[in-house]
Amino acid sequence: MLIDLKDVAVSRFLAFGPLEERDYLDLASLAGHTRWLKRGEHIYMEGDQPLLALLLRGWTASSITFEDGTRQVIKVQLPGDMLGVPNLALRTNADSVTALTDVQIGLMSPHALGRLFERNPRLGALLFLISQEERVRGMDRLASLGATQALSRVAALLRELLARLQRTDPAITDTIEIPLLQSDVASLIGITPVHLNRTIQRLRAERVLRWRRSVVTILDHARLAELGALPTREIAPEPAWLPRSPGADDPSSDDTGGT
């Protein structure tokens, strides 16, 4: 059960293809202090100055609070995900991020990010791509909330989490531990906790899944896919247009000889 933190930290990058040694070094230059936070603590809050971090262990949730106090959970982050990235575009944070479990995060300075764009355009472009992947996820969630009812939304969420967890741990197939209260899951898919619970009861009755405390076991993957009726998204394998790593000794780059 020991995972190499290095692997987790770059897992989102590796989804698009292998990295050169130079890339690992440049990515390491992003790493700042690591911190542990307890479950329930906030990594950052709405209205604060933007802050950038990498989630190394544990789960977090991003939420937005309305003026009347209503809280909406926007998404959950798993190890390897970056925290606070969208807020870089804003003067103050749009969302808050809370630790769902005890978590370990690696803080990183926006300035280091800026230097990364300068020094290693390939990694800059990869960061760009990772953000696009997040946007696609957001679009799918939007489609789920906008066009389907509770049963489908639960199915779509479980399929999403399963797929994301499988990427860093292929051993996961049927059983996942979701450190979310049912009230959090309900907010995530835009229904009330009461209604989520009734929906879970239906899925249990149909033997689609087991859901005990925070451990969910999928019994009928086919039925789940049928309910959460969005296609599985495939990551672009090594997009040809990506700049090459600055270390790569390929003489065929016809461009200006900078360096």
Binding residues among 222-251 for DNA as defined by CB under 7 A: none
User: Which one, 40 or 138, has the nearer CB to its own copies?
Assistant: 138
User: Which one, 41 or 133, has the nearer CB to DNA?
Assistant: 41
Please pick, from the candidates 213, 241, 251, 258, the single residue that binds DNA as defined by CB under 7 A.
Answer: 213
Please pick, from the candidates 65, 131, 168, 197, the single residue that binds DNA as defined by CB under 7 A.
Answer: 197
Provide the CA 159 distance to its chain's centre, in angstroms. Answer: 14
Q: Which residues of 45-82 are buried (b: 16+ CB within 10 A; e: fewer)?
A: eeeeebbbbbbbbbbbbbbeeeeeeeeebbbbbbbbbb
234 binds, among DNA, its own copies, none (CB under 5 to 8 A by kind): its own copies
**Residue ranges in 156-195 that form contacts with DNA under rule CB under 7 A:** 181-183, 190-195
- Neighbour-count burial of 111, counting CB atoms closer than 10 A to its CB (0-12 exposed, 13-18 middle, 19+ buried): exposed
User: Which one, 195 or 244, has the nearer CB to DNA?
Assistant: 195
Q: CA of 39: how far to CAs of 29, 44, 74, 100, 206, in Å? A: 28, 14, 18, 5, 34
User: Which one, 168 or 197, has the nearer CB to DNA?
Assistant: 197
Token pair listed for 179 = 């450190």
Please pick, from the candidates 56, 80, 81, 141, the single residue that binds its own copies as defined by CB under 8 A.
Answer: 141
User: Which one, 121 or 179, has the nearer CB to its own copies?
Assistant: 121
Would strands 52-57 and 103-108 be described as parallel, antiparallel, or unpaired? antiparallel
User: Which one, 5 or 145, has the nearer CB to its own copies?
Assistant: 145
Q: Is the alpha carbon torsion for 178, 179, 183, 184 positive or negative? A: negative
- Tell me 240's DSSP state: T
Residue indicated by tokens 């000889």: 257
**Residue ranges in 199-238 that form contacts with its own copies under rule CB under 8 A:** 229-231, 233-237
* In the complex, least distance from residue 213 CB atom to DNA, rounded to whole angstroms: 5
C-alpha span between 78 and 165 (Å, rounded): 8
Residue indicated by tokens 């870089």: 88
C-alpha span between 104 and 61 (Å, rounded): 14
* In the complex, least distance from residue 207 CB atom to DNA, rounded to whole angstroms: 15
**Residue ranges in 88-117 that form contacts with its own copies under rule CB under 8 A:** 88-92, 94-95, 109-111, 113-115, 117
Which residues of this protein are in contact with DNA, per CB under 7 A? 149-151, 181-183, 190-195, 197-201, 211, 213-214
